Amino acid sequence: MRRQVVRVIVAVTAAGAVATGCSGLGQPGSAAVVGDRSVPLETVQSQMQAALDKPDQMARLGADGRGPDDIARGLVTQQVLHELVTREAAERRVTVTEQQVDSSLADQGGAASILENTFLDEAGLRERVRDQLLAAEMARDVVGGLSVTADLVAATSREEADRTARTLLAGGPAAEALFANPDTAARGQTYQAVTAPEAAATVLFSTPAGGVAAFQPDPGRATWIVLRVTESRTDVQTPPEAVSALSQSDLVGIGYRLLQPVADEVGVTVNPRYGVWDPISLQVVAEEDVSGEILLPNAPAAG
């Protein structure tokens, strides 16, 4: 099971999709508020209309059991991520040119071809590609130094994961007892971002030292992972060629994970019509679909 624990921890929660909406926030007319910036309902509604104007794609989505609410949550998710990546890229002084966006679109077959298989309009597509390029560049600047060491415990339900997380956070004999069975727990597992890029795109790499996170990597499976970060480093010495070997998708995933602490710091509030912000999956989801929790060292550890 130790191998299973390690395999599960590197699984990336599948991306969700997302509508229309109403107010209900401190800023009327907002689909979401990120820090001091509002995501206008009008923006999401315009993108939603572009999606509804593609009946073939709507039909394919329906065949997968998803509908307009899923599209709407995905659109709001993308706008929240856009605000976060724009803020963080400015802080880190990372920029992307329109020529780079053009080149990326060309590498993927061109905008026209991509638009046939997406709900986005052209402006939304260019914004998404630009955001992904910014995320990748932010990751490229830091990924070589990233390393995390954590204790891992497997659970089979949300309730068990919740109890285990609070026990780990509290420490003491009860926490030590969780590691009695090596088939369900492992201590001191170290991951470097360059050699475990899938893990680096998960909450494992955005939980601060001393913090605990519980999450379900795959909603289709009963396995939950509870982790306690014991060390988080940004100064690992990594050969440049190891960073160069990472794929663009690896860098994008890691770059987006860098946004979780930003979201925690500035705050993300979602219009209840769409759902809530899930810091584990970095998505807007229905409240009952939140994929886990993060407990900081000063959080209450009720039994």
Question: Residues 172-213: pLDDT tens digits?
Answer: 999 999 999 999 999 999 999 999 999 999 999 999 999 999
pLDDT more than 70, % of the chain: 89
- Predicted model pTM: 0.85
267 pLDDT band, cuts 50/70/90, is very high
Is residue 26 predicted with pLDDT exceeding 70? Answer: no
User: What was the pLDDT predicted at 136?
Assistant: 98
User: 3-class DSSP state for residue 168?
Assistant: helix
Q: What is the distance between the terminal CA atoms of the chain, rounded to a whole angstrom? A: 26
User: Could you tell me if 73 and 278 are in contact, meaning their C-beta atoms sit under 8 angstroms apart?
Assistant: no
68 pLDDT band, cuts 50/70/90, is confident
- Whole-angstrom distance, CA of residue 33 vs CA of residue 53: 27
Is residue 298 predicted with pLDDT exceeding 80? Answer: no
Tell me the pLDDT tens digit for each residue of 233-261: 999 999 999 999 999 999 999 999 999 99
Query: Among the residues of 110-195, which ranges form H helices?
Result: 111-115, 122-142, 158-170, 173-177
* Two tokens, residue 134: 């910014």
- Whole-angstrom distance, CA of residue 272 vs CA of residue 184: 37
Cα torsion at 176, 221, 297, 150 (round to 10°)? 60
Q: What is the DSSP letter of 285?
A: E
Residue-wise DSSP of 43-66: HHHHHHHHHHT-HHHHHHHHHTT-
Phi-psi label, residue 97: left if phi above 0, alpha if psi -120 to 50, beta otherwise? beta
Q: What is the 3-state secondary structure (H, E, C) of 79-133?
A: HHHHHHHHHHHHHHCCCCCHHHHHHHHHHCCCHHHHHCCCCCCHHHHHHHHHHHH
9 pLDDT band, cuts 50/70/90, is very low
User: Could you tell me if 145 and 233 are in contact, meaning their C-beta atoms sit under 8 angstroms apart?
Assistant: yes
Contacts by 53-60, CB closer than 8 A, 24 or more apart = 54/119, 57/117, 57/118, 57/119
Which backbone phi and psi does 226 adopt, to 5 degrees? Answer: -115, 130
* Two tokens, residue 260: 């979780």
Residue-wise DSSP of 21-43: ----SSSTTEEEEETTEEEEHHH
